[in-house]
Amino acid sequence: MKSKQSDKNTEALILDAAARVFTRNGFAGARMEEIASEAGINRALLHYYFRSKEKLFETVFRARFAEFVQGIAAINLAELSLFEKIEKLVDHQINSNRSNPGLAHFIMHELNCNPESLIQLAHENSRGFSTMFQAFSASVNEEITQGNIRPVKPTSLLINIMSMSIFPFTGKPMLSQILKMDQTTFEEFLDYRKKEIPEFIIQSIRKK
């Protein structure tokens, strides 16, 4: 009979292996056989712990999403200027999605199919949406009061930062086809976007 500790160790082994395979191949390209091989176990044992690729993907990326949200919360609650927050938010979002290519797919799928669960997960890992957003809003309003930026709604600004950072990942299949991007070109494009997005956003709100 397996011990609880043994079960935990095997499950952790599977999740680590699955994360590597999903990162390499994406959800569509990942195969349960490859995940089992990566973990050094047989497929029957893999199915004992996770009956489907979908369930395994969800388990892996719920943890990745929690880390993603924690990073966003930490930046917004830090003692940083608004411009520094914008730069770090863009950097964090692109780096997180770059390291976890399935993350954007997971977020979009859950938002469409199970939004309440995703919102609850985000809330649990953000130290509270209201606290996090209040901190970001305070940074925006301080810059407006000091005359450094034009009046702008914090909600709209935050949505711009997030959508511009995440779109390259959700739109990658289309970008790859239309713009003929291979992986090397896509990586170069991400490096460019990490610099361009903060500059573009800051210039758009900076008071002339």
Range scoring the smallest mean pLDDT among 18-27, 171-180, 183-192:
18-27
Q: Report the CATH number of the 1-51 domain.
A: 1.10.10.60
Q: pLDDT > 90: what percent of the chain?
A: 54
- Per-residue confidence (pLDDT) for residue 3, from 0 to 100: 54
- Per-residue confidence (pLDDT) for residue 1, from 0 to 100: 45
Q: Sorting pLDDT into bands at 50, 70 and 90, what band is 5?
A: low
DSSP secondary structure string for all residues of 38-99: HHTS-HHHHHHH-S-HHHHHHHHHHHHHHHHHHHHHHHHHSS--HHHHHHHHHHHHHHHHHH
Task: Inform me whether the pLDDT recorded for 196 exceeds 70.
Answer: yes
Average pLDDT rounded to a whole number, residues 29-45: 92
Task: Inform me whether the pLDDT recorded for 194 exceeds 80.
Answer: yes
CA 6 centroid distance within chain: 31
Q: What is the pLDDT of residues 118-138, one digit of tens each?
A: 788 888 877 777 888 999 999
Any idea which fold 58-205 has?
Tetracycline Repressor; domain 2 (1.10.357)
* Mean per-residue pLDDT of the chain: 89
- Per-residue confidence (pLDDT) for residue 106, from 0 to 100: 79
Contacts of 136 (CB under 8 A, 6+ apart): 76, 85, 154, 158
- Per-residue confidence (pLDDT) for residue 205, from 0 to 100: 97
Task: Inform me whether the pLDDT recorded for 2 exceeds 70.
Answer: no
Enter the DSSP assignment of 144: H
Domain boundaries, the chain: 1-51, 58-205
Range scoring the smallest mean pLDDT among 8-12, 34-38, 45-49, 78-82:
8-12
Q: Sorting pLDDT into bands at 50, 70 and 90, what band is 4?
A: low
